[in-house]
A and B are shown apart, each in its own frame.
Chain A
Amino acid sequence: MSATVETAKAQPAVMAAKQIKQRRPVSRRSLRVVSIMSPLVILVSWEILSRVGALDARFFPAPTLVFQALWDEAKTGDLWNQSQHSLSRLVIGFVVGAVPGIVIGIVAGLSRVVNAAVRPLISGLYPVPKSAIFPLFLLFFGFGENTIWYFVATGVFFPVMINTYSGVANVAQIFYDVAENFGARRGRVFWSVALPGAMPNIITGVELGAGMGLIMLAIAEMLGGVGNGWGYMVWNSYQLFRIESMYAYLLVFALVGMLLALIVGLVGRRVTPWITRH
């Protein structure tokens, strides 16, 4: 124990110099090439392994076949059809979850009484696995769209609310002092201090919430008996052993997830222009 401490103490100057030398600058361009190559390499090897039979093509169909299946779904209009159902559920669920999440988060961040009331409920409910409460939602709302909306909303609500709360609670006291000193009343304090101060955290909450919303959507469409939507298509394709189609809809989920992150990122940059990003 003491020996390691000694060597660590004796080394640092030399070590640091070595590390600096070893760390060659990598150009932005070559980093981008690496980022594009890594998935391509995997896809191409998958394709080859599947074609030559090293991978069982029944479970791991070649990527080209998956793209073909997706293209077929798009051509027949099925993809758009399923997407309409899923997108509307996602959007409605997201709004129903995010809006109260932001409002309750801000109020809890501003009022110690509300915080004291809300905190035990949140810490009691949050750890329950979301998938485990789906039967409860079926009991309450039956098989139908309502169930999916509220289920997605529940998933969105927690990350949005928790992040918004911590955002508001962590706005430095000095900014509230300034607002008070310059005569700002409640509404003004909210719009000029609490909300913009919490905005970076709200964006983080929304980002996490959108991801969680997609998970909830998949679960609800698989188990909610609605008979359509991306999640249903994944499950149905699996049951009918149309594995290409199952992969195709998994691909849809991946693309939608990336698109959501992109949208939230763009909106986030718009509403927090004072934050520098790299």
Chain B
Amino acid sequence: MSIPTATAVDTKIRIRGLTKTFTVPGGHVVTALEDFDLDVPQGQFLTLVGPSGCGKTTFLRMLAGLETPSAGTIELNRGTAGRPENSMVFQGDSIFPWMSVWQNAAYGLTVRGVAKADIKDTVGHYLDATGLTKFADTFPHQLSGGMRQRVSIARAFANDPEILLMDEPFSALDEQNKTLLQAELLRIWDETRKTVVFITHSVDEAVTLSDRIMVMSAQPGRAKAFIDVPFDRPRDVLQLRHQPEYGEIVYDIWSQLKEEVDKAKQQADERVVSSKRSLFRR
């Protein structure tokens, strides 16, 4: 991946003309993402919100290298050599049930063959930061959902990637745990200020965490609007909600989002109708 000289130094991720099409059973071609452009500056916490099925997860999986684009380019402005490009915090349970909390958090470093002493320092630090130190030798099934997601976060941060990718990491948690984890995430993130691409369904979560929010259109996914979140850092998750601009930004995002959510719902309804039709034809 060569970086064109025209690219500003502080652009971390540069995406041009990204397109992803799928062939679904029945032979229909679905365009998940079409001609998608995006620049993410170094150190920005960017959040993508959009209706279900707008290609958010597909986009993140392409960034993570788990899916190949049908067209277009993803360029990453790499810093230190030898660092992994990205680490992902997955949606739902993704920590290995057969590894202890420690082994899970150390996974990326172990795979890369990092020296034992360095692994010990790094993993120790992030288990500490996520309040998991005393559970280091515990297996995941003994932990609550919130604790398991903390392990997933520790695992991604410990790997020290160029960029962090998060796919609705808190969607399965209850409201109280969600708030706690958002605060913890912000605190840990403040130490390094890595570039983050975050996906969520929750507008509140997006406003709480991000520097910038991208509202995506219904399928095929495109950038519909960008909203800057001006709050200072470090942020207090609760204080933030008191601020008058908070409600304004949330309202702003919702009004952008509403139309797309309606459109996505209509698309889903049409899909059901057309699949019923093809059933009758058979």
Inter-subunit contact A178/B97 (CB<8 Å) = no
Contact with B along A54-71 (1 / 0, CB 8 A): 000000000000000000
User: Could you give, for residues 97-129 of chain B, a 1 whenever the CB lies within 8 Å of some chain A CB and a 0 otherwise?
Assistant: 111000000011001100000000000000000
Within 180-221 of A, Cβ neighbours of B (below 8 Å) are at 180-184, 188, 192-193, 196-197, 199
Residues of B within 8 A of A273 (CB): 139
Which residues of B lie under 8 Å from residue A199 when comparing CB positions?
98
| Residue B177 CB within 8 A of the other chain | no
Q: Using Cβ atoms and an 8 Å threshold, which residues of chain B touch A180?
A: 65-66
**Distance (whole angstroms) from the CB of A37 to the closest CB of chain B:** 36
- Smallest Cβ-Cβ distance to B84: which chain A residue: A183
Which chain B residues lie closer than 8 Å to A140 at the CB level? none
Question: What are the 7 tightest A-B residue pairs by CB atom distance, in nearest-first order?
Answer: A196-B98, A274-B139, A182-B108, A181-B88, A274-B98, A184-B111, A174-B94
- Docked Cα-Cα span, A181 to B140, in Å, equals 20
The verdict on A188 contacting B98 (CB below 8 Å), with A177-B66, A273-B139 known, is no
Cβ contact within 8 Å between B96 and A178: yes
User: Contact between A193 and B108 (Cβ–Cβ < 8 Å)?
Assistant: no
A126 at the interface (CB under 8 A from B): no
Question: Which single residue of chain A is at the shortest CB-CB distance from B103?
Answer: A192
Output the least CB separation between A133 and chain B (Å). Answer: 37
Bound-complex Cα distance A259 to B77 (A): 61
Does B96 contact A193, Cβ atoms closer than 8 Å? yes
CB-contact partner of B112 in A183, A197, A274, A276, under 8 A: A183
Q: Number of residues in A with C-beta < 8 Å to the partner?
A: 20
A41 to chain B, nearest CB (A): 40
Kindly identify, within residues 154 to 180 of chain A, every residue whose CB is under 8 Å from any CB belonging to chain B: 174-175, 177-180
Report A278 CB to chain B, min CB distance, Å: 14
Chain A residues, Cβ within 8 Å of B111: 179, 182-184, 188, 192
Please tell me if the beta carbons of A175 and B84 are within 8 angstroms of each other in the complex: no
| Residue contact A182 to B107, C-beta cutoff 8 Å | yes
Interface status of A88 (Cβ within 8 A of chain B):
no
Which of chain A's residues has its CB closest to B104's CB?
A178
List B residues at the A interface (Cβ < 8 Å).
Answer: 64-66, 84, 86-88, 90, 92-94, 96-99, 107-108, 111-112, 139-141, 155, 159
Report chain B residues within 8 Å CB of A188. Answer: 111
**Chain B residues with Cβ under 8 A from A183's Cβ?**
84, 108, 111-112
Known: A183-B108, A274-B139, A274-B140. 4 other contacts (CB 8 A): A177-B90, A178-B107, A182-B159, A192-B99
- Is A272 engaged at the interface, CB distance under 8 Å to the other chain? yes
Residues of B near A182 (CB, < 8 A) are 84, 87, 107-108, 111, 155, 159
Measured CA separation A197–B94 after assembly (Å): 13
Asked whether, in the complex, the Cβ of B108 is within 8 Å of the Cβ of A174, the reply is no
Residue of A nearest to B112 (CB): A183
Cβ-defined partner of B65 (8 Å) among A178, A181, A184, A196: A181
A179 to B65, CA, bound (A): 12
Asked if B97 and A274 sit within 8 Å, CB to CB, the answer is: yes
Residues of A contacting B92 with CB < 8 Å? 174
Q: Are A174 and B90 in contact (CB under 8 A)?
A: yes
Which A residues from 242 to 263 make CB contacts under 8 A with B? none
Contacts of A181 in B (CB 8 A): 64-66, 86-88
Q: Which chain A residues lie closer than 8 Å to B87 at the CB level?
A: 181-182
A183, B108: Cα distance in complex, Å: 7
Complex interface: chain B residues within 8 A of A192 (CB): 96, 99, 107, 111
Contacts known (A274-B141, A276-B141); A178 close to B90, Cβ less than 8 A: yes
Bound form: Cα–Cα A116–B155 in Å: 36
What is the bound-complex CA distance between A179 and B97, given in angstroms? 13
Partner of B94, one of A175, A272, A276: A175
Q: Which residues of A contact B141 (CB under 8 A)?
A: 274, 276
Give chain B residues whose Cβ lies under 8 Å from the Cβ of A174. 90, 92-94
